[in-house]
Chains A and B, each alone.
Chain A
């Protein structure tokens, strides 16, 4: 385990946190779009009948996404703490090895062997824990993809429903468009999180 590696790990963990907060923003936008669509569908009455349950569903999806991201944020924070810990231990191991070299011949040089071994063991344990949490995070991220994917399907449906809404066609289509866009953005961001995590794992 090198200090250089924990540096790139810091960057990766930080970028995950950044992507996640962007996902959060987008999910909130979807939720807003759903509320908008609901209002339009209400005004459109009979003409947008098929649209109403869709808006509820979109809202649910947005809520699910927000819940999942909140949960993932806790993971990202844990990964950050583990990275700090790992960085400290890596630094300690490096410095202790330097002490060993400098203290050659010193009467009590041997006494540092215990702490050095302990720091190495803690570093290994920390690494193992980190790897486990990264794997769990990857699963969670896959879960966030589900509502985003569903949202895209629904957006396609919405377009069809919108086509029957007469003068409301344009505004409902715009809603469908923005849900589709948002879902696409979430997809991309989550992808980026996953590849950031993969970089960490590859460096292992």
Chain B
């Protein structure tokens, strides 16, 4: 599993992805971690197949007892089907996930981990030295969907928004926005169902100072590419690819 530090301040952000052991037919995913002095949040920790390489990678940064928080942007298997395994591995963890999905996500196994239901309007995740915002992103693409914004690091973890279908081993940042568009178009047209939801999200996100937009598939957007992405997404008609 490749690890890339994307922010270093009073806390750290690390992106995990491009796992070379990933079985071929499984979509490649990016996992994100916020590490403080004594706590650790994993965002969209991934599917069952990814559990072992993911935890092995995290163990370079934190012991299991300090992995205190998990966040699932929505209920998809590539996001959180590993929950039942984290449930056995983490002695002190809480899961932040949509209230709407609680009865569904518990099918993955969630007994030791405490489920903290996120209401529709969002909320915060307090890791002690840093407070993260839970930003609503409903219907993008899941009916109850959230993103994580870190006002200190100016990073927005955007779940499936900004996702791209890439060749294995692709770079972790977009380096040529124009060339990247074709890798994103189908994903957004097909998986994102609602122009209305898209506009509501854009309005919310444009008010935030975002230096890095960090999606769950494909590459991250940095600096001006964040604005380019928002403009492109705004102009794109979604929910029409059938």
Contacts and interface: CB of A to CB of B under 8 A. Distances in A.
Interface string A62-97: 000000000000000000000000001101100110
A106 interface: yes
Given A88-B84, A115-B88, A119-B88, A95 B60 contact: no
A88 B60 contact: no
Contact of B59 (A92, A98, A107): A107
A89 B111 CA distance: 13
A109 interface: yes
Contacts of B59: 99, 103, 106-109, 111-112
Contacts of B61: 107-108
A115 B85 contact: no
Contacts of A111: 59, 63-65
A27 to B, nearest CB: 34
Interface in B25-74: 48, 51-53, 55-57, 59-65
Contacts of A98: 52
Contacts of B56: 99, 102-103, 106, 109
Looking at chain A's contact residues, the main secondary structure is helix
Interface of B: 48, 51-53, 55-57, 59-65, 84-85, 88-91, 109
Given A88-B88, A89-B88, A115 B53 contact: no
Contacts of A107: 59-61
What 4 A-B pairs come out closest when comparing CB atoms? A111-B63, A102-B56, A103-B56, A98-B52
B55 A103 contact: yes
A107 B35 CA distance: 15
A92 B88 CA distance: 7
A112 B64 contact: yes
A99 B65 contact: no
A108 B55 CA distance: 11
Contacts of B51: 95, 99
Contacts of B62: 108
A115 B55 CA distance: 13
Contacts of A106: 56-57, 59-60
B52 A99 contact: yes
A103 B59 CA distance: 7
Contacts of B57: 106
A99 B21 CA distance: 13
A114 B85 CA distance: 14
B89 A112 contact: yes
